[in-house]
Amino acid sequence: MLLIKSGTLVTASDTYEADILIDGETIAAIGGDLNVEDAEVIDASGKLVMPGGIDPHVHLDLPMFDTVSSDDHYTGHKAAAFGGTTTVMDFVPMIAGGTLAQAVDEWHAKADPKAAIDWGFHMNITHLDAAIEAEIPKLLDMGINTLKVFTAYNGRLRLPDDGIFKVLRIARDHGMLTMLHAENGDVIDVLVPEALAAGHTAPIWHARTRPAWGGIEAVLRACALAEMADAPLYIVHMNVAGETDQLRYARERGIKVMGETCPQYLFFTEEDLERPDGAKWICSPPMRGEADNQALMAALSRAELQVLATDHCPFFFDGIKPILYEGQPVVIPGKELGADDFTLIPNGLPGVGDRLPILWTYGVGAGYLTPNQFVALTSTNPAKIFGIYPQKGALVPGADADIAIWDPVRKLTYGVGVARHRTDYNLFEGWEMTGYPEKVLLRGQLIVDGERWLGRPGMGNYLNRSRGGEVL
């Protein structure tokens, strides 16, 4: 048995001093002054004890633009753990001409031997016909209760509105949740060729060819489709103030819609794309303006957005130069592929390990969020929405002992030398932090102990998620 003594427990609803007794993989008891003979003791005096973070939006080992995202299901999981996250959820792409089951099997082959924390899958639905419609409910037998659709990437990932409507109704009928990427693919397809024809190839044109209003109208359109389908909807990576306006409008009218945002949309703007190294900030949808940063943080503080995820999908900035990872040189083609054409820059950036420390210092520490809101946004809410609560996201007897022991006064200068992503840069290079995870447990096993990594490939459990997540 393991006993965490004298810590201050922080949950989505309460803050109190207590001990936690762990028996095997689960929490056995919580109470004051617990004493168990022969239990191993972790002294958490002066520390905060929180449920491990849950990031429901990552992309690991994802092929894109003649390369692949630089974190796989081991390196990305390791980075997550050092940042206090113990569960992540990845997206399974469809296989051209294949079944959904074949796609899931292919992604399991990537993830199962490497997974170092617990994880689940969402299923992308990027093509729809009668056979796929019939197979979608069978995803529940594979532990997948979430489907992702797109209003952008015409000819590749996008479903037309009638297809999205059909997916929403199938999901409704089987207790599943639809997730949506909101941009206007038609407008993008007009603006991108115009920009290239005019010789506009720099990274800033990635943002200028994906207008904010395309996201705003796509959010409202998706909310309308959800209302007509009488189905729940979760909008990923919301990045502009007007999208939160549409979300609030829909929720005030009883539409079952929820939203997430990501750290990059709270702290960076499209002006970062104009820097000499602007390709580092290329992601889809792009960052917007300072007013949008402020509006999104305000929406988190008012519980108008339900989740802070990351959309973690890193690429090397300079994929010609190797980096050392666990003592071995690694080189993977990256953002240099689009040095002369913004449309060839791999879309994505690191974040899975940054999310909790950054939000703690610049969200809680800056007075925008309470510690309890921090836990809700980064752990408890995603656990409830995605159907793994209270196994995850909770400090209660019977829950998995996924725990982050947080040093609230530790000061450090953050950056690529601290974060454990397998890439050559960090968006938050040089940022000053106060508060950082000291120890991280996965199902009762210590996997991060200060700077020491005690995890290993294959120790993560796949989460078989059943129907019926909550609509918050």
Residue ranges of domains in the chain, CATH in brackets: 2-50+397-453 (2.30.40.10), 53-385 (3.20.20.140)
Query: pLDDT band at residue 214, thresholds of 50, 70 and 90?
Result: very high
Contact at 8 Å (CB) between 289 and 270?
yes
Region for residue 367 given its phi and psi (left: phi exceeds 0; alpha: psi -120 to 50; beta: otherwise)? left
On the question of pLDDT at 454 being above 90, the answer is yes
The rounded percent of the chain whose pLDDT value lies above 90 is 99
Tokens of 278: 């602007």
Query: pLDDT band at residue 89, thresholds of 50, 70 and 90?
Result: very high
pLDDT tens column, 74-83: 999 999 999 9
pLDDT tens column, 254-282: 999 999 999 999 999 999 999 999 999 99
Average pLDDT over residues 293-298: 98
Q: What's this model's pTM, rounded to 2 decimal places? A: 0.98
Query: pLDDT band at residue 184, thresholds of 50, 70 and 90?
Result: very high
Average pLDDT over residues 160-178: 98
- CA distances for 354 relative to 80, 130, 302, 445, angstroms: 8, 41, 23, 22
pLDDT tens column, 386-436: 999 999 999 999 999 999 999 999 999 999 999 999 999 999 999 999 999
Query: pLDDT band at residue 467, thresholds of 50, 70 and 90?
Result: confident
The rounded percent of the chain whose pLDDT value lies above 70 is 100
pLDDT tens column, 225-250: 999 999 999 999 999 999 999 999 99
Buried b (16+ CB within 10 A) or exposed e, 156-177: ebbbeeebbbbbbbbbbebebb
Query: pLDDT band at residue 161, thresholds of 50, 70 and 90?
Result: very high
Query: pLDDT band at residue 337, thresholds of 50, 70 and 90?
Result: very high
Contact at 8 Å (CB) between 105 and 93?
no
Which single residue is written with the structure tokens 């703690």? 360
The set of residues, in sequence order, having a beta carbon less than 8 Å from that of 5 and lying 6+ positions away, is 19, 34, 41, 42, 43, 44, 45
pLDDT tens column, 362-392: 999 999 999 999 999 999 999 999 999 999 9
CA pair distance 125, 313, nearest whole angstrom: 19
CA pair distance 346, 299, nearest whole angstrom: 29
Helix, strand, coil share (%) of the chain residues, nearest 5: 30, 25, 45
Q: What is the mean pLDDT of the chain?
A: 97
Nearest CA to 236 among 216, 261, 219? 261
Query: pLDDT band at residue 14, thresholds of 50, 70 and 90?
Result: very high
* Strand, coil or helix: 437: strand
